[in-house]
Amino acid sequence: MTVAAGKTILEQDLSDAAGGAGEFARHALSLAEQGEMFRSTMDAAQVGIFILQDRRFKYANPFFLRLFGFTAEELVDRLGPLDIVVPEQHPVVLEQMQQRMIGVNGHNYELTAVRKNGSTFPAMVRGSPVTFGGQPASVGTVLDVSAQKAAEQRIRELADFDVLTGLPNRRLLRDRFAQLLAGAERDGSAIALIFLDLDHFKRVNDSLGHSVGDDLLCEVARRVDTVIRRVDTVARLGGDEFIFALPATHTAAATEVARRLLEVFGKPFAVAGHELTVTGSLGISVFPQDGEDLETLLKNADAAMYKAKELGRNTFQFYNSAMNTATLERLLMESNLRRALIQEEFTLFYQPLVSLQSGLVIGVEALIRWQHPDLGMIMPDRFIHVAEETGLINQIGDWVLCEACRQAQRWVKAGLPPLIMAVNVAPVQFRQAGFVEVVAGALAASGLEASRLELEVTERTVMHDADINLGTLSALHRMGVELSLDDFGTGYSSLAYLKRFPVGKLKIDRSFINDLETDADDQAIASTIVSMGRNLRLTVLAEGVETIEQLALLRKMGCDMAQGYHFSRPLPAEQIADLLRQQPFMNRND
């Protein structure tokens, strides 16, 4: 090799070496930038983030450390999840760690976490399998859900008790009666149910005003509560109706309680400067001879109470089968319903759903009516329960769904602006096999876009077998159908499930809107639901809005939508078409 050739090779080697060093430097700089970006992201994250391997924390971001009160030196490579979770939940944690180690993706689950100082808080945890240092590991997040849990508990407390009298409401009565029933079936004992209705209470409201009537109801609640035992329950169903559930109480004991209740009304009630003399009529049914569930016992006690009114009021009556003419009426209703399906006697009315920001009618709710050839227009509250009991609700519900889709598409073809068609789904209908296919068929037959259909289901519907119902909801969501949680605040929703359910809207039950202007508890419930919806990025709609004052309060809370008589009663399809063209609620201050 000549000297010149050797020089050329040496220069090439030096050039290559310089190029390689430059590439290495650029790569090292890129890695440094990525590392800095990772640290900055972890420092700014407002959620606890951790890496877990061999049951020990290998990394925890600053938010995680602050959440639990540890320093990195105290936690990393020293502690694991079992050290920061209450002992009774260790099996759950071990199962979750094992699932991550074998590569199974996690889902949100709740734990009771323990801080360094020993205090606890509810935490929402989610983990995913990763590789760290060439070995199996998991990365996860932790959120403190104390605020959400407190809001959930507040809603439950407010929803369990009558806001006027402070007595248990129907929901809590149902829960307590289920416990009484289990005990009675176990012990072979009786339960007495007393239905109390005030005589001529309407006269008080009409002559002295509803505020005096409300004060009277509170005084009645206080007096009757002194008559019963601590193991008994007195609840207010609404209006002037009170229910007493008396465990281990046979007929003779129930008679004595009824007499004491009548004596309560022997003295006038001092209310708002008035001395009011009020009496009550009582009906009594007894488990098991008069019914084996709460609804049957309530129905029969109600029948007995009306018999007491027929006998002159201010007395009590025990139920007997001769009183109950409802059975015959129910059979007639059932046969008429079957004929109505065949004769196409059902029709749909539609109530506008209004945006509170713009005043635009952006949707309607389909509401069924029965045009009976002899009795005229029959409202759903008179026949839906019979349809549910007899199984006809599936056929009726399917017809409503199909007809609502057809009507929505007719409006589209008529050139009207697109809108949401909201359809109520009964619990039995929702749980029927093939419901998702029924919805798909209704959309396909009508040509309506899936995103224009909104199905309304109640809290109780989805929380019954919640994991199974999640599959149905998810299938509907994948189709593009919108989902709404109806009567929100009256059921049993868990926030953990609410986050999993693919619902886009919460509907505040009308029971919280009726007295919104005057009732602080109703305002608290409505405001809490609106805030919860906003935090979960859900639309919130208030139903049953009837006054300007209610509307103003809802707007102040930041509620998104409303429906009710303040805007419009339910209307036939042709009148809705005119309303959609005119948009009469735009730019209105009320």
In a domain, 501, yes or no: yes
The mean pLDDT of 456-469, rounded to a whole number, is 77
Same domain for 395 and 312, yes or no, is: no
Residue 489 pLDDT exceeds 80? no
pLDDT in tens, 212-248: 999 999 999 999 999 999 999 999 998 999 999 999 9
Q: Are residues 155 and 140 in the same domain?
A: no
Structural domain span for residue 424: 340-580
Q: 311 pLDDT exceeds 90?
A: no
Domain boundary among 84, 119, 144: 144
Residue where one domain finishes, among candidates 267, 295, 324: 324
Residues 370 and 264 placed together within one structural domain of the fold: no
**Which pLDDT band, with edges at 50, 70 and 90, does 324 fall under?**
low
Is the distance from CB of 291 to CB of 300 less than 8 angstroms?
A: yes
Query: CATH number for the domain including 259?
Result: 3.30.70.270
Which tens digit of pLDDT belongs to each residue from 397-435?
999 999 999 999 999 999 998 899 999 999 888 888 889
Token match 């289990």: residue?
182
With cut-offs at 50, 70 and 90, classify the pLDDT of residue 459.
confident
User: Both 118 and 165 in a single domain?
Assistant: no
Q: Measured in whole angstroms, how far is the alpha carbon of residue 545 from the centre of its chain?
A: 19
The CATH number of the domain holding residue 123 is: 3.30.450.20
Check whether residue 278 and residue 192 sit in a common domain. yes
401 shares its domain with 309: no
Exposure pattern of 103-121 as b/e (b: 16+ CB <10 Å)? Answer: eeebeebbbebbeeeeeee
Q: Are residues 135 and 176 in the same domain?
A: no
Residues 176, 124 share a domain: no
More confident residue, 36 or 566: 566
Residues 93, 183: one domain? no
What's 355's domain CATH number? Answer: 3.20.20.450
Answer whether 0.75 is exceeded by the pTM: no
**pLDDT above 80: residue 135:** yes
> Has residue 326 got a pLDDT over 80?
no
CB 393 within 8 A of CB 429: yes
Angle at which helix 170-187 crosses helix 294-310, to 10 degrees, equals 110
What average pLDDT does the chain have?
87
Number of domains in the chain: 3
Claim to verify: residue 184 and residue 232 sit in the same structural domain: yes
Helix (H) or strand (E) holding 148: helix 146-160
Please report, rounded to a whole number, the percentage of residues in the chain having pLDDT higher than 90: 63
Identify which of 213, 209, 235 has the alpha carbon closest to the alpha carbon of residue 224.
235
Rounded Cα gap, residues 21 and 32, in angstroms: 16
Residues 139 and 189 in one domain: no
- Picking from 58, 165, 150, 173, the residue whose alpha carbon sits closest to that of residue 524 is 150
How far apart CA 424 and CA 132 sit, in angstroms, is 50
In the predicted structure, residue 528 carries a pLDDT above the cut 70:
yes
- Which residues have C-beta within 8 Å of that of residue 174, sequence separation ≥ 6? 294
- Give the separation between CA 362 and CA 345, rounded to whole angstroms: 29
Residue 177 located in a structural domain: yes
Among 125, 144, 163, residue at a domain's last position: 144
Listed residue (299, 316, 296) closest to 307, CA to CA: 316
| Same-domain status, 364 and 252 | no
Q: What is the pLDDT of residues 529-561, one digit of tens each?
A: 999 888 888 999 999 999 999 999 999 999 999
Q: How far apart are CA 38 and CA 61, in angstroms?
A: 10
At 47-66, the pLDDT tens digits run 999 999 999 999 999 999 99
Domain membership of residue 549 (yes or no) is: yes
Query: What sign for the dihedral angle of Cα 486, 488, 491, 493?
Result: positive
Residue 27 domain-assigned? Answer: no
Domain membership flag for residue 88: yes
Q: What's the pLDDT score for residue 250? A: 86
Residue type, 340: A
